[in-house]
């Protein structure tokens, strides 16, 4: 994951079972965003951006394979924009294994700030590359879903989808 900025943003929209996804990529073809429908916090498409599916084509194909149950990991160049703390949290999110969950507290411990569960939750909520950087796999310490910017029904759908694909028993 890189945090450098580029000058041009390309965007495209791709369908998914949970709603249309807005994919953003920089001029080097690195994914900078994956947002659902009119997600709170999603950027508005800008007049200086160009609508071009080519830079996001691989991301769209990998997301389609994910939703079809044919892919459990992503292999894409990523360039999220955030603070050093956010970038560290997002790196940890990216490492959460498919069909598994961790708590906000566990992520806080992994980034060396065991008392920062709330800050981890805020960074998690600002993840600009959802699904690919699997913020949906982070739950509350008591096992409940916690929050999710795309809504709890979508979080539940993503977690259940992964459990089904992995052949794990749904609870």
Q: Catalytic amino acids?
A: 135
Strands 31-36 and 50-51: unpaired
The Cα angle at residue 121 between residues 117 and 124, in degrees rounded to 5: 135
Tell me how far apart the alpha carbons of residues 69 and 103 are, in angstroms, rounded to a whole number.
24
The tokens describing 123, both together, are: 């960074």
Tell me how far apart the alpha carbons of residues 38 and 21 are, in angstroms, rounded to a whole number.
9
Q: In 10 A of CB 154, how many CB atoms?
A: 21
């Amino acid at each position: 994951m890189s945090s450098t900025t580029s000058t041009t943003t390309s965007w495209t929209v791709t369908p998914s079972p949970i709603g249309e996804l807005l994919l953003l990529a920089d001029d080097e073809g690195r994914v900078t965003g994956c947002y659902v429908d009119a997600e709170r916090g999603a950027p508005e498409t800008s007049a200086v951006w160009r609508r071009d599916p080519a830079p996001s084509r691989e991301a769209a194909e990998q997301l389609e394979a994910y939703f079809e149950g044919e892919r459990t990991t992503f292999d894409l160049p990523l360039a999220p924009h955030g603070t050093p703390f956010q970038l560290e949290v997002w790196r940890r999110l990216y490492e959460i294994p498919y069909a598994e969950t961790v708590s906000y507290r566990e992520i806080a411990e992994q980034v060396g700030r065991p008392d920062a569960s709330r800050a981890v939750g805020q960074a998690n909520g600002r993840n600009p590359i959802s699904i690919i950087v699997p913020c949906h796999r982070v739950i509350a310490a008591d096992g409940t879903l916690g929050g999710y910017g795309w809504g709890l029904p979508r979080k539940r759908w993503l977690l259940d989808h992964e459990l089904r694909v992995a052949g794990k028993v749904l609870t």
